[in-house]
Structures are given as structure tokens and as C-alpha cells.
Chains A and B, each alone.
Chain A
Amino acid sequence: MNLMHHFTGKALSWGLKDGVIELVLNREPCNEIGSLALDELENFVAELSLNEGQAHALIMHSPRACGFCAGADLRELYARSKEMAPGEAAREVRGFLERIHRVMNAIDSSPLTTIAAVHGVVFGGGFELALTCDLIISDKTARFCFPELRLGLIPGFGGIPRLKRDLGNAVVRDLLLTGRSMNATKMQQAGLVSQLVADGEALRVARGTAAQLAKFDRHTAEEAKKFIKPIPYEELRQEIDMFCDLFTRPTVEAGLRKFVESREAQPYLP
């Protein structure tokens, strides 16, 4: 039974065609990852594990003009935190992180060859989702950013360990400690973006790459991936603990409130 033939949810959709699973992020305003997206991502990875034998590649992408994904849903996080006592909010955040880490780890360790086809905003949790993939194919409009320090936090969806795995430490420090965004050309030079393509061409190129992968023996590709892409489980655990410790500090509430309530033209620049 082909469970993954097609699914359309409120935040995501996915389907399987010609051995390629496509995961489409499509929720206003810019694919923020909140409780709804997390529920559907969990459903996706559950079905992914059941369908890996029928596919050789996974492509994730977004049709939204703003870009691939703007990261965690900070408005939901702020609203939920305000409704709860501090200890309760911290427990809920930990629960959310445990769940999103399971999703990210499942994609990262999938035996399929995985491709993020990105454009526009690739921020925070969106960047972290792209980092779970084996290849990032980016058009020239993409910008990559970890703005979490602006909120008094660190990335919480596995960003630091995966970034450390994939990039030189100087670039990791630059991205994290300045919180600045970097364009796709810079990220290709840094070694993160595997193919840099013209505006609007990332998905087409990703599909062409996935078609090429179909020619290879799957077992060999899976063995190669296991050998070259270790999952930094211990650091991922440490990241959850560190995030939760930081989350209880007053700086975070102030940062979130400023972001959510801001009417400035550039609210992402505190």
C-alpha cells in the first residue's frame, strides 16, 4: 500500500512520484514552525519510515514567495508563554524541542538522499530544517540566518551541532554570534550550498538531481551516507538543555515581546 501517495495538510503537503518524495511547506505567512506544523511533520516522518523502500530521494521546498521557512513560530511561542506560569512554559518548550528534534533526526538519518531546494528566507528553524538534508540547492534570492541570539536564545532545533558538522568553525561563529544573514553565494563559498542556481530554479534543479540519483544502487548510497554523515546526537541533547536553561531568563521574554509587538519596518533587527 502506498501510504504516501498524497497528503495535503494545513501547513504541509507531501507526495511520492517516480521514487521521489516531495515535502512542500506552505503556510502563511512564511512557513513558521509552530504546533500545527510540528504535528504534520511528525505525521510526515512516520509515513516516511514506512515508504522509504519505494523511494530513493526526498526533496523539501516551499512555493511561498517569501522563501523556504522563517523558522519557529515566535508569535505562538510568545502567546503560549504568556498564558502559562514560567515553569509550565519551560516544560512545554522542552516538550516541543524533544518532538522537533525527533523529526529533524529522522530526516537527517533517513536512508533516502535528501535535498532542500531553497529560496528567499531560510531563517532559524527553517535553516535548521534545511541542515538536516544531504544537499542544499539554493537560488540566488536565498538568505541564511540564525537570529536567535537577538532574542537571548540559541538555535533550538538542532542548528548548532549540524552547522558545526557541516561548516568551518569561523563561519559558524560568524552566523551565530553576529546573527547576520548571509546570501546564497556566500553560503556556497562556505561549502553549505551544493548548487547555486538562478532565481526560481532551485526546485527544477533539485528534481533533476533526484532523477540522477535514481540511477545509483540504493544500498550503496545508503551505506555511503551513513559513513559520511554522522548524527551528532550528544551535542543535540546538550543543545536542548542549553536552550531550556536560557529560555527561563527574563531576556528572552523581553526579546520575544519586542519582536512580536514591534511595528518597525525591520523587526528582525533589534
Chain B
Amino acid sequence: MRFLNARLKHGAMRTADQTVNEILDLASAHFKVPREKLTPDEDFFKTLGIDSLQALDLLTKLENHFQIELPDYELQGVSDFRTLASRIQARL
């Protein structure tokens, strides 16, 4: 199951960069922030201007998109997209 979830629709494995980019695309669309303003190492609380409840909303979007479960305690202290992507990548 882990193996299947780690594959994209066309069958290739997701790389860490692909996961980061999918997160940035999703965050841009959901919070209506221009995609070019988002970079992997930025603090997403500041860049997106979100609070803790909106961060939970983002977590739900990510879980639904990647079809994973990501316990919120794994996000403790995580504030940049690249680290977030690594947490997701570990569950694909």
C-alpha cells in the first residue's frame, strides 16, 4: 500500500521536489497566494498569513490530496514547506 501510494497517477514515484511543488501549488490555490511568492524554505505561517486553525485546514487538504494520515503532533515545530514535504514523503 505504501508503495502504491507513493506513485503518481502515471506510475512514477514522487520525488521530494515533486512533493514540495504539489504542496506549494495546493497552498497557493487554497489560500489564494500567488504561486511565485511561495518558496520551499519559507515560513508558511508568515507567507500564507495563516493561524493555527487555518494550518489544520491545510493539514486536511494535504491528507486528502496525498491520501495519507499525518498526525498533527508530527508538525510540531514545522513551519517551512520543505520540512513539511519530508514529513509527507515519509508516509507515501
Residues on A close to B: CB < 8 A? 30, 66-67, 70, 120-121, 140-143, 178-186, 265-269
Size of the B side of the interface (Cβ < 8 Å), in residues, is 18
Selected from A142, A182, A186, A269, the residue in CB contact (under 8 A) with B76 is A269
A265:B52 contact, CB within 8 angstroms? yes
What is the CA–CA distance of A265 and B55 in the complex, to the nearest angstrom?
9
> With A120-B57, A121-B53 given, is the CB distance from A269 to B64 under 8 Å?
no
What is the CA–CA distance of A30 and B54 in the complex, to the nearest angstrom?
12
User: A120 to chain B: which residues have CB within 8 Å?
Assistant: 53, 57
What is the CA–CA distance of A178 and B69 in the complex, to the nearest angstrom?
14
Residues on B close to A: CB < 8 A? 45, 51-53, 55-57, 59-60, 63-64, 69, 71-73, 75-76, 79
Chain A's closest residue to B76 (CB) is A269
A265:B60 contact, CB within 8 angstroms? no
Selected from B69, B71, B76, the residue in CB contact (under 8 A) with A266 is B76
B64:A185 contact, CB within 8 angstroms? yes
Chain A's closest residue to B62 (CB) is A183
> With A180-B71, A269-B75 given, is the CB distance from A140 to B60 under 8 Å?
yes
Nearest CB on A from B66, distance (A): 12
User: A185 to chain B: which residues have CB within 8 Å?
Assistant: 63-64
